[in-house]
Amino acid sequence: MNTESKNTIASNFPLSGGTKGAIKGILFDMDGVLVDSEEFICEAAIEMFAERGLQVKPEDFLPFVGAGETRYLGGVAEKYGFAYNPERDKMRTYNIYEIKVKGKLKPLPGTLSFVSECKKAGVKMAVASSADRVKVDINLREMGVPNDTFDAIISGSDVEHKKPNPEIFLKAASKLGLKPDECLVVEDAVNGVEAAKAAGCRCLALTTSFSAELLQKADWITSNLSEVPEEITRQLL
């Protein structure tokens, strides 16, 4: 795979991943990694708050990207001192979201080919998304990717502590029957990179949501899954 973009983006950052053993499994975040749904969930959240009489802005959500919808919505509600009912407000947001994404969600560049190549090579794969399972299922369906493409799907509904806590990646690795240091996490958010490193996994960060400078704790940094560093593909494929 072409590494030109990766080399450009990550040239100032150390590539520490290659010093460990072989990568045997991949733990994919969902939003910003497999699909770009941030615009739609933000629009849905703004609409949900507006229905309840609160006007919020897209930038209000940035600190909570990658932390799951409970925190995504709750953090903004806290900022404005707004009464927030997690279950009711999340479900209303998901209802709006499902309508907004119908026929509009597209896999990010390189996603389908990379996942397909890894599956053919027998690499174990899991989705590890802080989003609730209902959103993960909507996204996979709209992408045209069957759930059984992955050996495990761990969502925010399955864990108590959301990213940057490492619980979701520890659980995903366990579901694959692997140790954390045998897994590569693919993330796009600062919270996700921190969770991956806290879990003891190696991490490939994609600059779909945040700049390379903000993602520098990752082992590798690239633009998307069409530009996976050769150091990784040599181990996987």
| C-beta atoms surrounding 177 within 10 Å | 12
Residue 125 dihedral angles phi and psi, to the nearest 5°: -140, 145
pTM above 0.75, yes or no: yes
Tell me the pLDDT tens digit for each residue of 42-99.
999 999 999 999 999 999 999 988 777 889 999 999 999 999 999 999 999 999 999 9
Structural domains of the chain, with CATH? 4-36+106-236 (3.40.50.1000), 38-101 (1.10.150)
Tell me the pLDDT tens digit for each residue of 96-153.
999 999 999 989 999 999 999 999 999 999 999 988 899 999 999 999 999 999 999 9
- Tokens representing residue 91 in the block: 């479900």
31 is catalytic: yes
Catalytic residue among 31, 36, 89, 188: 31
Checking if the pLDDT of 227 tops 70, the result is: yes
- Look at residue 199 and give its three-state secondary structure: helix
188 is catalytic: no
